Amino acid sequence: MDYAQQQRNPGKHMVGIGIVLALHLLLGWALINGLAQRLVDVIKAPIETKIIEETKPPPPPPPENLPPPPKFAPPPPSFVPPPEVNVNPPPTPAPTITVTTVAPPPTTVTVAPQAPPAPPVRGPVRTEPKLDFQNACTPPEYTAAARRAEASGNTVIVYTMDTNGVINEASIERSSGPMRENKVLDRLALEAVKACKGTPGTIDGKPQKLTGRVTYSWKLEN
């Protein structure tokens, strides 16, 4: 019988296969009963953990009798640049311009003779009426009370004179003073003006009824 014939014999193969199966079953039983129980015991054991604190070294002792820190010289001052000076350039001279003026030719102007100016228009010539207390009229006199009070001043009277010199209307325009005696003197001057006859005013030389003013001065004579 050759080798190939021996390999084809099925009896030999069945024995080898049975041995291999028996070994596998034995190994599985051992693992199930022994090793599995040990693994469970190992897993059930408590696990302890510890926190280890880091040990810090003690701080070094403070230094004693240390030498003073070295003194450094102050730094030199920073460089300050000098101020800038702006120098203006000299002004540029203006160019000289020569202008030549050409005289125009003479012009002949004909001046027409002017008419003589018209004579000015003159208004009417008017003269004011006048009262003469020195010669034509009787002047008023001081009263004893006004003399004792030493009343004085100027009484201004406005009047209207007719063409024959007679006073038609008269009134006091300004009093001679604030005192009661001044009021008495004003009334005396008004009566003297009404009783006086003067020179009537004129317009273009003809007597007219015009209004005038007269001022009578009251003065005490020593």
pLDDT in tens, 17-41: 888 888 888 877 777 776 555 555 5
What percent of the chain shows pLDDT beyond 70?
A: 58
User: Token pair of 168, please?
Assistant: 């038609």
Read out DSSP for 31-84? IIIIIHHHHHHHHHS-------PPPPPPPPPPP-SPPPPPPPPPPPPPP-PPPP
Q: Identify the residue with better confidence: 92 or 153.
A: 153
- Give the pLDDT of residue 1: 47
Using a pLDDT cut of 90, give the percent of the chain over it: 36
Split at pLDDT 50, 70, 90, the class of 211 is: very high
pTM score, whole prediction: 0.45
**Structure token pair of residue 187:** 């009334």
Whether 140 and 216 have beta carbons less than 8 Å apart is answered as yes
Tell me the C-alpha distance between 6 and 4, whole Å.
5
Q: How far apart are CA 63 and CA 69, in angstroms?
A: 14
